[in-house]
Amino acid sequence: MSPFLYQALPEGLDKLAELALDLRWTWSHEGDRLWSAIDPEVWDRTQNPWLMLQIVSHVEMRKFLRDRVFMGELRYLLQSRKEYLENPGWFRQHYPNKTLNTIAYFSMEFGLAEALPLYAGGLGILAGGYLKTASDLQVPMVGIGLLYQQGYFRQMVDGNGWQIEAYPYNDPNSLPIRLVTDAGGGWLRLSLELPGRTLWLRVWQAQVGGVMLYLLDSNDPLNSATDRGITNKLYDDRPEIRLMQEMILGMGGWRVVDALGLPVELCHLNEGHAAFLVLERARSYMAQTGDSLAVALCATRAGNVFTTHTPVAAGFDSFPPHLIAHYFRDYLQATGASAEQILALGRKDPNNPDEPFNMAYLAMRGSSCVNGVSQLHARVSRRIFQPLYSRWPEAEVPVDHITNGVHVPSWDSQFTDELWTKACGKERWLHELEDLAEAIQELSDAELWAFRTGQCRNLIDFVRQRLAYQLSQHGASSDKLEEARRTLDTDALILGFARRFTSYKRPNLLLTNPARLESIINNPSYPLQLVVAGKAHPDDVEGKRLVQQFVTFASRPGVRHRVAFIEDYDMAIAQELVQGVDLWLNTPRRPWEACGTSGMKVLVNGGLNFSELDGWWAEAYSPDVGWALGDGKEHPEPGWDITEANQLYDTLEQEVIPEFYNRDKHGVPTGWVARMRASMARLAPRFSSNRMLRQYVEEVYVPMTARFRQRNREGARLAKELCRWQDRLGQNWPGVHFGEVEVHLEDNLWKFRVKVYLGKIAPSSVSVELYANPLNGQDAVRIPMVRGQKIGEASNGYIYRGETGAARPAADFTPRIIPAHPSLVVPLEDSHILWQK
């Protein structure tokens, strides 16, 4: 921490710095009263205690030493933090020591709080929640990311409703981070070789409860002016800068792990941006062992996990081959690899010299586990990655799924916390969640409705203040400001949504028929209110037009008292919205929403969802927890948007709004509250990051760690054996072929007899199967065939037999040969396959 600040704080208050530098205050709000007591205005505007400790006079702060209440609160917070960090946690309680060593989680962005604005959207919010959850559950993890001087843009809207971008500077001194120092007490500085020069990287540390986040920064005084700006802006659109950013993340990130001596066995790549980790980890392994690049990749791949979030192939980062060859010149020299070898790892066709280098392909080829972020997204991803496994059925492309979840304590309100604490206890999100549903079911209708109306009133207060602030920034008249302070009605249904404004998300589906929407909003008996926020990418002109359309609609005299567009959407605004809206709307074009976690954030707060059957909602929806848009199918035809817009209006008018206003004699909408209860009880635990991370631990991290250790034991004996095995298999695969196939029906079974000639490959190195494609929603059929007698004495040929039920025609089943090794992940690590023609 800053020595100056630490020394300047009066003795007795110096521990405030310790609390301020632990980002646990972003989700544990037990310290809010203390921070607000120091300076209510600064706390309200910044929500950044570290900045506040630098703004507020430390001489003035001496008064708190005489404040018994303040000092008692400080002692309580320090003890609470100590107990939190020492709590054995879910992981320690369920897994013995050393089941897992440290997991390094690599991400281009981390959304932890507005006090540390290093994110653009859902990917970063997920990454931030992941680290918070690891802290809550005591899962051993560190985060690796970049420190951006500007980060993502801030949004302003001009008088014509057009989005304007601003890029305020992130002053590291005001962020709740500190420089990492080396053993001698100086800055920890790492080097990365670039063409003709060395790039120096500083390393910063953010404490996220019990988890550390390390952030790399190229703004080192010894770098050139150009190089100091590499980590200036999140997702720089210049290919060369983006390439260097991703080199810093993946290669520099692994060097952080090495420099700090972190016992990392597993690396989790949150999207393909970090894929250069695959190469750097292999290079580091080679330097330590002297083994070949092939062995290094095999040994380290067992410890890499790749999570893809992209629903369209065009969304993957790719780079021209000449850029890769140019920037990896030193890497090639260090490893003895050729440019063609490295480029092949990122290409669909390794032999096509014109094909760009795809980061997702590198991540996939460099990992031994790949997953999408929802069940539907895994299916979409298998289609996207099919070119890498061209002869394999799409259903067997090696992409599984673990559906995303949200870090619930980051999104619940004070009202929510009190309600759930009463029902389920204070530590409800720190352990298993199986008992939560029953506890929520016990809450009465009156309790739930009082809780819900309190949330709505808070949101309306926020919207009124925010609108007045927005208007004041544009120099609006006092009449306009007063009108803004009367926007929205505490008794009317509030529908909200907030997202990136881009075509595939269809944010303006609701505006398809503005006149009809206006009539719904102004129904005298059953009015509807809208609260909307969102940004368009700076280069997305169409997205900006969508923003403009909504801003223009919100300013109509006939609706502006019931419609609010909130500028500069960020985490702080998202927290207010998801806590207070009655209904959350999400309208992406299926299947382009990989997961869409925004709607998950309303669950704990009692909000309901009305969304397209895409991403997580395709798994979560049932008629008793919310409403569905669409028919659960993909519709490329251009007129389908009109169809779904009409369905949206009809559902609002005929189902949603009447249910909200259908009250019993106590003024409680019992049908609506029943949905709330079902949604909170069943969906909030299921779509929490608590469930998500426990699933990663149980299904991915623990078995992968065992695989990694096995492959690297005894000087990586198994990794070397696998390399030799795969070399032999690849060289001799052309000699494998089928002979004749016989099939006959017996006892209602199809019985297959197949001649297989293996050439120079041992029978134990392959598996012969009968395969049938999925049918009527059922899984594909894979039936192992049994090796029987040898064919002749000289040939390496055998009779294989298999049988299957006769419910499907025999022609549905095709014999095939695939690699078989107990320690190899097929087809992820070896995609050889031969079909009987």
Query: Is 260 in contact with 253 (CB distance < 8 Å)?
Result: no
Across 326-331, average pLDDT:
95
Query: Is 51 in contact with 2 (CB distance < 8 Å)?
Result: no
* 141: β partners: 103
Q: Which two tokens stand for residue 615?
A: 């991403």
Helix (H, G, I), strand (E, B) or coil at 321: helix
Across 604-627, average pLDDT:
97
Q: Provide the pLDDT for residue 7.
A: 47
Residue carrying structure tokens 């090639």: 332
Burial of 385-407, coded b for 16+ CB within 10 Å and e otherwise, reads: bbebbeebbeebbbbebbbbbbb
pLDDT band with cut points at 50, 70 and 90 for residue 484: confident
Question: What sign results for the dihedral spanned by CA atoms 310, 161, 643, 574?
Answer: positive
CA–CA distances in Å: residue 626 to residues 440, 507, 582, 585, 623: 17, 19, 11, 10, 6
Q: How far apart are CA 186 and CA 453, in angstroms?
A: 54
Query: Is 463 in contact with 495 (CB distance < 8 Å)?
Result: no
Query: Is 766 in contact with 758 (CB distance < 8 Å)?
Result: yes
Residue 131, burial from CB neighbour count under 10 angstroms (0-12, 13-18, 19+): buried
pLDDT band with cut points at 50, 70 and 90 for residue 1: very low
**pLDDT per position as a tens digit, 565-575:** 999 999 999 99
H or E stretch at 647: helix 640-651
The answer to whether the bond into 393 is cis (omega within 30° of 0) is no
Q: How far apart are CA 673 and CA 688, in angstroms?
A: 21
Q: How far apart are CA 308 and CA 479, in angstroms?
A: 50
Q: Range with the lowest mean pLDDT among 7-21, 338-352, 392-406?
A: 7-21
Please spell the DSSP secondary structure of 281-305, one letter per residue.
HHHHHHHHH---HHHHHHHHHTTEE
pLDDT band with cut points at 50, 70 and 90 for residue 2: very low
Q: Return residue ranges of the chain for CATH 2.60.40.
A: 736-835
Across 259-284, average pLDDT:
97
Q: Provide the pLDDT for residue 11.
A: 86
> How many Cβ atoms from other residues are within 10 Å of residue 812's Cβ?
15
276 pLDDT exceeds 80?
yes
pLDDT band with cut points at 50, 70 and 90 for residue 6: very low
Q: How far apart are CA 417 and CA 681, in angstroms?
A: 15
Residue 805, burial from CB neighbour count under 10 angstroms (0-12, 13-18, 19+): exposed
pLDDT band with cut points at 50, 70 and 90 for residue 8: low
Query: In Å, how far from its chain's centre is CA 679?
Result: 22
CA–CA distances in Å: residue 686 to residues 75, 402, 608: 36, 12, 15
Report strand pairing: 749-757 vs 116-118. Answer: unpaired
Question: What sign results for the dihedral spanned by CA atoms 534, 538, 539, 541?
Answer: positive
Across 107-126, average pLDDT:
94
CATH assignment of 89-401? Answer: 3.40.50.2000
Pairwise pLDDT comparison (157 vs 96), residue with the higher score: 157
407 pLDDT exceeds 50?
yes
Determine if the pTM surpasses 0.85.
yes
Q: What is the 3-state secondary structure (H, E, C) of 717-758?
A: HHHHHHHHHHHHHHHHHHHCEEEEEEEEEECCEEEEEEEEEC
Query: In Å, how far from its chain's centre is CA 316?
Result: 15
Q: Which two tokens stand for residue 450?
A: 């009082």
pLDDT band with cut points at 50, 70 and 90 for residue 29: confident
pLDDT band with cut points at 50, 70 and 90 for residue 414: confident
Closest residue by Cα to residue 316 from 349, 267, 275, 268: 275
Q: How many Cα atoms are found within 13 Å in the side-chain-facing hemisphere of 319?
A: 31
- Calculate ∠ Cα 381-701-268, nearest 5°: 55
CA–CA distances in Å: residue 187 to residues 178, 203, 204: 10, 8, 9
Q: How far apart are CA 146 and CA 55, in angstroms?
A: 26
**Amino acid letter at 97?**
N
pLDDT band with cut points at 50, 70 and 90 for residue 162: very high
**Length of the chain in terms of residues written:** 837
Q: How far apart are CA 246 and CA 241, in angstroms?
A: 9
Q: What is the 3-state secondary structure (H, E, C) of 665-679?
A: CCCCCHHHHHHHHHH
Q: Which two tokens stand for residue 368?
A: 């031994």
Residue carrying structure tokens 């390399």: 723
Q: Return residue ranges of the chain for CATH 3.40.50.2000.
A: 89-401, 411-421+441-687
Q: State in Å, rounded, how far the first CA of the chain is from the last one.
A: 68
What is the CATH superfamily name and number for domain 411-421+441-687?
A: Glycogen Phosphorylase B; (3.40.50.2000)
Q: Provide the pLDDT for residue 710.
A: 97
Across 96-103, average pLDDT:
91
Q: Which two tokens stand for residue 10?
A: 């009066």
Q: How far apart are CA 586 and CA 614, in angstroms?
A: 9
Instruction: Answer left, alpha or beta for residue 365, where phi above 0 means left and psi between -120 and 50 means alpha.
Output: alpha
Helix axes 293-301, 702-732, angle to 10 degrees: 140
Q: How far apart are CA 559 and CA 488, in angstroms?
A: 10
Q: How far apart are CA 26 and CA 107, in angstroms?
A: 19
Across 473-487, average pLDDT:
87
Across 669-693, average pLDDT:
96
Q: Which residues contact 45 (CB under 8 A, 6 or more apart)?
A: none
- 736-835 under CATH 2.60.40, yes or no: yes
Residue 558, burial from CB neighbour count under 10 angstroms (0-12, 13-18, 19+): exposed
Q: Provide the pLDDT for residue 437.
A: 86
Q: How far apart are CA 481 and CA 55, in angstroms?
A: 30
Q: Provide the pLDDT for residue 369.
A: 97
323 pLDDT exceeds 50?
yes
The mean of the pLDDT values for the chain is: 94
Across 630-640, average pLDDT:
91
Residue carrying structure tokens 């106590």: 666
Sheet arrangement for strand 834-835: 781-784, 766-772, 814-819, 834-835
Query: Is 272 in contact with 173 (CB distance < 8 Å)?
Result: no
